Structure 1
Amino acid sequence: MNTHVSILASCTLAFGIAGTVHAQEVDRSDWPSSFTVGTASQGGTYFAYGSGWANLVSDELGISGGAEVTGGPMQNMALVHTGDLAFGMTTLGPARESMEGTNPIAPGLQMTNACAMFPMYQTPFSVTALTSSGITSISEIPGGAKIGFGPAGSTSDTYFPRMMDTLGVNYERRNGGWSDLGGQLQDGLLDVIAFAAGIPVPAVSQLEVQTNVNIIQFTDEEQQKLMEAFPVSAFDIPGETYSTLEAPATSVAMWNFAIANCDLPESFVKEVVAVVMSDNERMVNIHRASRSTLPENADKNTVLMWHPGAAAWFRENTDIEISDDMVFGG
């Protein structure tokens, strides 16, 4: 079910010393010796973002850590819930479905042992086609169009087909990693790719370098329909995100959160959150989507229970109110 790609951080002696100093007053006796972050397919934002923060935490805390390619938010919820992975990343829509027992990976299993760690960014839903296709709007997508929806079980694959149904689009569904789908679009094997990923999406940026593309926005009416039918909010993709855009593009978006197995030591998770939340500039250097990886966005979590270590950090360092009934074991 997984493609295992380990991007383990190299922890030099210098980094080990730095990490020891960073948390020298913290009892590490129950900490794991290593950790892995569940991301998604290569070519997507989760992979770039997750690899970056895994390496950052590894360097700062002096613990071997890295990222693993997975099927995305749904699979990450399952793997973190079972403890197969320490950390992962998910979108709040798939997180809710997983907690309610409707995750397609394990139907009926209520995945309540995956806890919130910190806010990541919003995932906009956007559509890309080759300029040569002549497709410039949702209404111009031809009947029976071959649409790539990303990896099976991903946020995009979970919600975008339903969104296309809501907007009256008739299509043939295709799945795959974002890089592979980008190649298929360029080769004429797909008509459209429906992306749900943090921006800029690496696969779209790569396509822009190699060919001419149209980034298709929703009309105001289409945006309203989607907001009424799905757990999304209004979002404008900034014009500077892609060279193709000349102005902001109307979209909808869903929040992403980093997650931890709820049984991980409180002090360990608290230190991980501190590394990520304490210096946003470092995170932005990893991926521009991290501009939203800010402590004040912790209040966007209305779905997941907070890990006690994460809740402790936010309570001690921000004005965010986290009630006891939203803390695992609280």
Structure 2
Amino acid sequence: MICKKNKLVFLVFSILVSAILNTSFLIVNAQNKQDIVIGTGGTAGTYYVVAAAMANAVNQNSDLVNVIVQPTNGSLENLNLVHNGDIQMGMSNSDGVYFAANGTNTYESVGKLNIKGLMSLYMSAGQMATLRKSGIETYADLKGKKVVLGPQGTTIVEMSKAILRAYNIDPEKDITPFYLSFDEGLQKLTDGEIDATFFVAGVPTSAMINATSTNDIRLVDISDEIVKTISEKYSYYKPYVIPGGTYKGIDEDVNSFKIMTEVFIGADVPEEIAYEFVKQALEHLDEYKESHVVAKEISLEQVAKTSAELHPGAKKYYEEVGALD
């Protein structure tokens, strides 16, 4: 009797397990989506805002991919995470993508990273913020000051150092350098712990909007002569003027540089995944172009102009829509 009961229990259990497995199988196939992670930057920065809006549009319209947005320390971390296969996509300034894809500059000692180009999005601007009461008006005034140059090892640091050197300021000897994230730099500035902080972001960026709402901040201007010198030496730095009135209390135009923001992807990511992401992101651009003013810059005319060789999936889509013509 006990044996029959055990057999009955086992039979019922087997039926239940089979039903659960079949149900799970149906759910997986009904969703039929593959998670892909995109590395961005701090949650207050432009990378994160634009990527989150783009991911939402892709997820709402794709039957193949589900994009997960991951906050990071920015370009350098994103490039390393994608190269190592920890995430599938990332955002970076174009100089970082170029250096990584070609194994130059920052990556000279490690060689080419395992990445491909995906999308060229919008321009970001280099911005040096200081409190007006500091008396700092030009980069020349930074000598002897405590200055955040950007996160350690990033292309942001490369840009800030290039500007300082153009003013004959040694970034290691003539200032006290700090290597912090965008958010950390602004926080230390408003707390009075540093004199100035450099960052690269879309214009405007929410972190600066928040900071200028409660603090009297100045953006440090670059002279026309230095702008010309640097843009001629580094072709990827383009002259840019941050319009007066962009941020509260900053009514004057400010000379700076702009650089393209790109989305790159792991070279080993399947072609159909890259194709699907690009297709949905561009065909549903209207759904997120109002998420930030810089998203309005995304267009077929520039999206395929990446600093790394295009991923085959992206190239396939761009060929179909004539973006490579």
- Normalised TM-score (structure 2): 0.81
Give the equivalent residue in structure 1 for 2:82: 80
* Distance (Å, rounded) in 1 between the aligned partners of 2:127 and 2:227: 11
Q: Match for 1:109: what amino acid?
A: G
Deviation at 1:96, TM superposition (A): 2.0
Structure 2 portions without partners, runs of 5+? 1-26
Q: Match for 1:285: what amino acid?
A: E
Deviation at 1:154, TM superposition (A): 2.9
Question: Which among 202, 206, 216 is matched to residue 202 of structure 1?
Answer: 206
Structure 1 residues 204 and 313: alpha-carbon distance in aligned structure 2, compared to 1, 3 A threshold: same
Deviation at 1:246, TM superposition (A): 2.7
Q: Select the structure of larger CA radius of gyration.
A: 2
Q: Match for 1:48: what amino acid?
A: V
Aligned positions of 1:1-80 closer than 5 A:
33-61=34-62, 63-80=65-82
The one-character-per-residue Cα deviations of 1:145-188 (angstroms, maximum 9, x if unpaired) are 11112322333123212321222233211122222211110111
Give the equivalent residue in structure 2 for 1:326: none
Give the equivalent residue in structure 2 for 1:146: 146
> Aligned with 2:302: secondary structure?
helix
Give the equivalent residue in structure 1 for 2:94: 92
Work out whether 1:295 is the aligned partner of 2:300: yes
Q: Check whether the contact 1:185–1:192 (CA below 8 A) recurs between aligned residues.
A: yes
* Distance (Å, rounded) in 1 between the aligned partners of 2:105 and 2:34: 30
Give the equivalent residue in structure 1 for 2:187: 183
Aligned positions of 1:274-313 closer than 5 A:
274-298=279-303, 300-301=305-306, 303-313=307-317
Q: Check whether the contact 1:71–1:153 (CA below 8 A) recurs between aligned residues.
A: no
Deviation at 1:291, TM superposition (A): 1.8
Give the equivalent residue in structure 2 for 1:192: 196
> Aligned with 1:204: secondary structure?
helix
> Aligned with 1:284: secondary structure?
coil
The one-character-per-residue Cα deviations of 1:115-172 (angstroms, maximum 9, x if unpaired) are 111111112112111111122222222x221111232233312321232122223321
* Distance (Å, rounded) in 1 between the aligned partners of 2:43 and 2:181: 7
> Aligned with 1:297: secondary structure?
coil
* Distance (Å, rounded) in 2 between the aligned partners of 1:133 and 1:272: 46
Deviation at 1:306, TM superposition (A): 0.3
Give the equivalent residue in structure 2 for 1:255: 260
Q: Match for 1:252: what amino acid?
A: F
Give the equivalent residue in structure 2 for 1:269: 274
Deviation at 1:319, TM superposition (A): 4.4
Q: Check whether the contact 2:120–2:263 (CA below 8 A) recurs between aligned residues.
A: yes
> Aligned with 2:198: secondary structure?
strand
Structure 1 residues 206 and 278: alpha-carbon distance in aligned structure 2, compared to 1, 3 A threshold: same
> Aligned with 1:304: secondary structure?
coil
* Distance (Å, rounded) in 2 between the aligned partners of 1:218 and 1:106: 30
Task: Report which stretch shifted further, 144-153 or 54-63.
Answer: 54-63
Deviation at 1:240, TM superposition (A): 4.5
Give the equivalent residue in structure 1 for 2:3: none
Question: Which among 219, 236, 249 is matched to residue 215 of structure 1?
Answer: 219
* Distance (Å, rounded) in 1 between the aligned partners of 2:146 and 2:40: 26
* Distance (Å, rounded) in 1 between the aligned partners of 2:227 and 2:322: 33
Structure 1 residues 153 and 59: alpha-carbon distance in aligned structure 2, compared to 1, 3 A threshold: farther
**RMSD (Å), alpha carbons:** 2.4
Structure 1 residues 172 and 229: alpha-carbon distance in aligned structure 2, compared to 1, 3 A threshold: farther
Structure 1 residues 60 and 84: alpha-carbon distance in aligned structure 2, compared to 1, 3 A threshold: same
Deviation at 1:102, TM superposition (A): 4.3
Give the equivalent residue in structure 1 for 2:133: 132
* Distance (Å, rounded) in 1 between the aligned partners of 2:197 and 2:41: 17
* Distance (Å, rounded) in 2 between the aligned partners of 1:105 and 1:41: 23
Q: Match for 1:35: what amino acid?
A: I
Structure 1 portions without partners, runs of 5+? 1-15, 21-27, 322-330
Work out whether 1:119 is the aligned partner of 2:117: no
- Normalised TM-score (structure 1): 0.80
